[in-house]
Amino acid sequence: MLIALAAVACFTGTVGSKHVAAQAPTTFTVSGTVTDNNGQPLADVTMILLSDVTGTQITFTNQSGNYVFNYAGGVSHSLNITPAKDGYFFNPLTVIFISSGTLIGDWTQSFVGTKSPIPLPILQTPFLLTQENSLRALALDSVTWMAEPFGVAGNHNFSTDQRTRVSLFATNIELSPGEPLSVIEAQAEDSVGQIFPLTVEYYGAVPNFSWLKQIVVKLPDAIANSSEVRMSLKVHGTAGNKVIVKVKP
């Protein structure tokens, strides 16, 4: 299944880059080194920074195993740092920092990766990607490639039911060969806590970006009058972050 290349280019253009805000005095860094259990640097590890205020950032370790993120100071949020690389599990699995008006500064966190003889997808936490400095989902209509708001039905769908399918983009998801789509569960939650299960119809790696996964979900009729919902994934029973998606009748 094809995806909107413009959306991928838009997102990946920010991966590993320093934002303009990094020059501001209220911006700090989280950095460190990822090594294997022999002390050798691990390159090309996907590093995920999840903020409950500013969304997700992705970067990769360099040939020396080093990574760096910028984060906004003076904002009360939790920062979750997680490494991911096919065939490896990490110690620690993830680290959470708390930032507030008084608890700020440059932080250092290193990780050790151990090569596993078998895949360990069950240990992975799925991360839905967001727009830059936002909790809004990186999401597109799977046919028109248009961004939100999404209607539950339209005249430009290929399916006979005319229901809208939305492409979400995520990382840290790996399925074992032959595993069914049912191991990926998706849902949306409205402002009053009502839950809407979402049918997952497709999962696959984005061409040329093997670390980036595309998940296509079908919007149910009941979601139409919700205005905004928070979508999330659960993979192998492990729940991930929530992202905001705007919907319309």
Inform me whether the pLDDT recorded for 247 exceeds 50.
yes
Inform me whether the pLDDT recorded for 119 exceeds 90.
no
Which carries the bigger pLDDT value, residue 20 or residue 167?
167
pTM comes to: 0.85
Would you call the peptide bond into 207 cis, given omega within 30 degrees of 0 as the criterion?
no
The closest alpha carbon to 11, from 58, 43, 50, belongs to: 58
CB 27 within 8 A of CB 73: yes
> Which pLDDT belongs to residue 72?
85
Task: Return the sign of the alpha-carbon dihedral for residues 156, 158, 160, 166.
Answer: negative
- Take residue 33 and report the two structure tokens written for it: 């080194």
How many whole angstroms separate alpha carbon 218 and alpha carbon 151? 11
Q: What is the pLDDT of residues 171-210, one digit of tens each?
A: 999 888 888 999 999 999 999 999 999 999 999 999 999 8
How many whole angstroms separate alpha carbon 185 and alpha carbon 90? 25
CA-angle at 89, arms to 86 and 95, nearest 5°: 115
Look at 33-47, 120-134, 140-154, 168-182 and tell me which has the smallest mean pLDDT: 120-134
Look at 15-24, 41-50, 105-114, 237-246 and tell me which has the smallest mean pLDDT: 15-24
Residues in the chain: 249
CB 244 within 8 A of CB 135: yes
> What is the SS3 assignment for 58?
strand
**Structural domains in the chain?**
14-118 (2.60.130.10), 127-248 (2.60.40.10)
Strand ranges for the chain from DSSP E: 27-36, 46-51, 55-60, 66-72, 77-84, 88-91, 95-99, 107-108, 111-115, 127-128, 139-141, 150-151, 165-171, 184-189, 195-206, 209-218, 228-235, 238-248
